[in-house]
């Protein structure tokens, strides 16, 4: 379902972001059609969830943006680009998030996100020279861990399609994940958020472990699940909960 904001609500995003600012993304029509939904949104989602310090406002903005991109909810993406910028996410990080999510949610979703972000970038005079280039100097990586991961993928799926195996290594893990415009923790954050929003918990074990290896705490991971229940729906979050439980328990051993 697409949601939209008014021009006046978008203007409110130009100031420092707060949970109250987030509430302005709720269309006025909601109160006229579903007053109970309006009350739940204002009191529980905007008044409680967004205000919960278990996950920073910056992370919540990034997680929400990733979920909206994954779900192709383009009508509200512009407002959430503005919110992310006002919450401490840089334009370069938004640009890199879109590039990253192309691989995890599909090229069409990422292209639509770029189109939604473009007016906000233009409005704020964000210059293309400040955005990540196509060929930056890449971050170092754990060669032994990558070789082990690649050996597993090769032995498991090489006889299915070598092209997928090769692109997974060369484009994803030896390039995309090493690009410096987004910290490894943030890449993990948006990847896990996208998997939850897409209803793909079977991919979560590897990425949630990687997220925690990259600095995400168990408390932050739990808060992300709670946050995404409102944006991806309870069924998708409850499908992800057993995976998170197993990861938490395995890391505690």
pLDDT for 246 equals 98
pLDDT for 23 equals 75
On whether the CB atoms of residues 188 and 216 are closer than 8 A, the answer is yes
User: Could you tell me the pTM of the whole model?
Assistant: 0.90
In angstroms, the Cα distances linking 203 to 21, 176, 186 are 33, 18, 17
User: pLDDT 10s digit of each residue in the chain, 253 long?
Assistant: 333 433 334 333 333 566 666 776 677 788 889 999 999 999 999 999 999 999 999 999 999 999 999 999 998 899 899 999 999 999 999 999 999 999 999 999 999 999 999 999 999 999 999 999 999 999 999 999 999 999 999 999 999 999 999 999 999 999 999 999 999 999 999 999 999 999 999 999 999 999 999 999 999 999 999 999 999 999 999 999 999 999 999 999 8
pLDDT for 3 equals 38
Query: Which pairs count as long-range contacts for 234-242, CB under 8 Å and 24+ apart, including other chains?
Result: 235/199, 236/196, 236/197, 236/199, 237/196, 239/199, 239/201, 240/195, 240/196, 240/201, 240/204, 242/201
pLDDT for 105 equals 98
pLDDT for 211 equals 98
Residue 68's nearest CA partner among 51, 53, 83 is 83
């Amino acid at each position: 379902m697409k949601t939209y904001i008014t021009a006046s609500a978008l203007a409110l995003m130009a100031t420092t972001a707060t949970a109250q600012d987030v509430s302005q993304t709720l269309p006025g029509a909601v109160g006229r059609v579903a007053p109970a939904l309006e009350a739940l949104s204002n009191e529980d989602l905007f008044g409680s969830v967004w205000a919960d310090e278990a996950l920073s406002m910056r992370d919540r903005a990034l997680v929400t943006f990733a979920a909206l991109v994954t779900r192709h909810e383009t009508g509200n993406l512009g407002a959430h680009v503005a919110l992310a910028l006002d919450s401490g996410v840089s334009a370069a990080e938004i640009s890199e998030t879109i590039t990253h999510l192309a691989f995890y949610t599909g090229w069409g979703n990422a292209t639509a996100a770029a189109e939604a972000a473009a007016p906000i970038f233009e409005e704020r005079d964000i210059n293309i020279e400040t955005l990540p280039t196509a060929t930056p100097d890449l971050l170092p990586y754990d060669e032994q861990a990558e070789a082990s991961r690649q050996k597993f993928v090769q032995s498991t799926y090489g006889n299915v399609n070598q092209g997928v195996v090769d692109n997974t290594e060369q484009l994803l893990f030896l390039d995309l994940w090493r690009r410096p415009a987004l910290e490894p923790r943030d890449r993990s954050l948006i990847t896990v958020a996208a998997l939850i929003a897409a209803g793909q918990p079977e991919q979560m074990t590897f990425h949630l472990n990687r997220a925690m290896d990259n600095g995400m705490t168990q408390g932050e991971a739990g808060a992300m699940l709670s946050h995404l229940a409102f944006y991806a729906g309870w069924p998708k979050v409850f499908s992800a909960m057993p995976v998170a439980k197993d990861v938490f328990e395995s890391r505690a051993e």
